[in-house]
Structure 1
């Protein structure tokens, strides 16, 4: 049984006979009759009594009408749903992001995408390290991933689209050290109490690198929850070394943000699986990636 056979069956019911149904469907009457015969064989029951040129429904035929209409309606709905997704009038896009990049540039990227395609819902999944992001994209858990890395992304597993770079900054409470300053030397973080992320993150890699350079500090708190960073800083627990994606938010909350010299940056990239992308993912990448990206 296929949906075409059900459509033919309903056309005969609605048009009152094979001739009129064939004309309405723009098919020959033998083709229509052959399709109905195949449907009857599949169901194991006659659907019509052929009386001259008339087609009278059997009891089995009457029983089939509502299920057939439901099946055809469901297919029509399915086709419309797929078309809506393809045309980006509906659908969903799953994106994994590391915490700091979920602040920026993801906020701006999703904002611009949502204004252009308001019918597409963006689901943001948490990933704490660049390895997490790559694995989620590679295995198909998400279509796209946003990550930060200290070097280029290995292109063997995913396709990487470079979005830019973010430098490291230090976020200080209003009454904290370095008053009146906008820049701090990395060596001046010696002796400070720092709030750090878990191992495998860019911010943790940076402060661990400072310690290797002989810059000694106290780890006041280690957190996997980025939402706790600003409250901890503002409560005076310590300073936080983060990427500049936090700059605007930290400033709005009342914290001070200082550039760290010498400048150290992370590469920000949008990654996707090798192979075809859904229309929504392709549109997101096109909007996000600079025109010069290849």
Structure 2
């Protein structure tokens, strides 16, 4: 068994078959197939069910996938550590990021990182729940994950670092239904309003549902998983929205009004990673993201139990 065989094996899984994997790897498909057959002889068991052009993992293949990813990740870390002796002049940082964090704090994180390491590629892939991001990081598809949740929750096999807490705010069209000098709203002040929100299963929707459960006549008129659609709908007068403060600067720049909401509801934003050593680029990204005066030195966050998940 060698690293090339493991790379072929993982690529076939990621691409869903031998043909697309061969194209991605720039190798002839017969050579790829032969390398996998050799790997299967080495481990003494079939790793794939061949179904036409599709390749489906056997039980043994599923058991091998995560260790294989970790071996390849460790090789990348070793190579990058040697190269970093001459400075972070190449390489990449892979992040799995939830929708609400794409605006802030991700933008600021990438800005700080590229100010110091302009030649390192930052590769961002979407995750739609904290569990999705955790799976991507745990499985080696991403080195870091940026997630948001109401409280700490269990992340088996991962470490969690608190980045910041963001409060929820109310975003309205220019003018809006409240006085121009109004800066803070009580939840009861939302009575009679139409609201645009996300589907059930995330922190934003939970805050809206909580307000409704408290007896406030707040009517959901649009629910969308596409966060980028919410602000245009607000500006068009379709309704108001309850968003994290990470959207506030962007919303004001687009002409919307942003008002604080009381009592405060918050989203805890954290970076997650495996316990194994990170590549120097990923470690530097983590260090810069956590270098915030209000947080002090980077510290690991305990994850004692499962609470409300957020995006």
TM-score, length basis structure 1:
0.69
Unpaired segments ≥5 residues, structure 2:
1-77, 300-311
Equivalent residue for 1:280? 281
Equivalent residue for 2:298? 293
The whole-number CA distance in structure 1 between the counterparts of 2:106 and 2:80 is 27
State yes or no: 1:89 paired with 2:89. yes
Equivalence map 1:121-136=2 (5 Å): 121-136=121-136
Equivalent residue for 1:53? none
Contact in 1 for aligned 2:90/2:119 (Cα 8 Å): yes
State yes or no: 1:205 paired with 2:206. yes
Q: Deviations over 1:157-187 (max 9, x none)?
A: 3111111200000100003211321111112
Q: Deviations over 1:242-273 (max 9, x none)?
A: 00001100000000000000111111111111
Unpaired segments ≥5 residues, structure 1:
1-78
State yes or no: 1:230 paired with 2:235. no
Q: Deviations over 1:223-259 (max 9, x none)?
A: 1111111111100111110000011000000000000
The structural deviation recorded for 1:155 is: 4.5
The whole-number CA distance in structure 1 between the counterparts of 2:88 and 2:190 is 49
The structural deviation recorded for 1:80 is: 9.2
After superposition, the Cα gap between the structure-2 partners of 1:134 and 1:216, relative to the gap in structure 1 and judged at 3 Å, is farther
Give 3-state SS (helix, strand or coil) of 2:251's partner. helix
After superposition, the Cα gap between the structure-2 partners of 1:80 and 1:165, relative to the gap in structure 1 and judged at 3 Å, is closer
The whole-number CA distance in structure 1 between the counterparts of 2:80 and 2:152 is 39
TM-score, length basis structure 2:
0.66
Bigger relative contact order (CA 8 A; separation at least 6)? 2
Equivalent residue for 1:178? 178
Equivalent residue for 2:113? 113
Contact in 1 for aligned 2:81/2:279 (Cα 8 Å): no
Equivalent residue pairs, number: 216
Greater CA drift, 82-91 or 213-222: 82-91
Greater CA drift, 148-157 or 201-210: 148-157
The structural deviation recorded for 1:274 is: 2.0
- The structure with more radius of gyration: 1
State yes or no: 1:265 paired with 2:266. yes
Contact in 2 for aligned 1:130/1:201 (Cα 8 Å): no
Contact in 1 for aligned 2:81/2:280 (Cα 8 Å): no
Give 3-state SS (helix, strand or coil) of 2:152's partner. coil
The structural deviation recorded for 1:215 is: 2.0
Give 3-state SS (helix, strand or coil) of 1:280's partner. helix
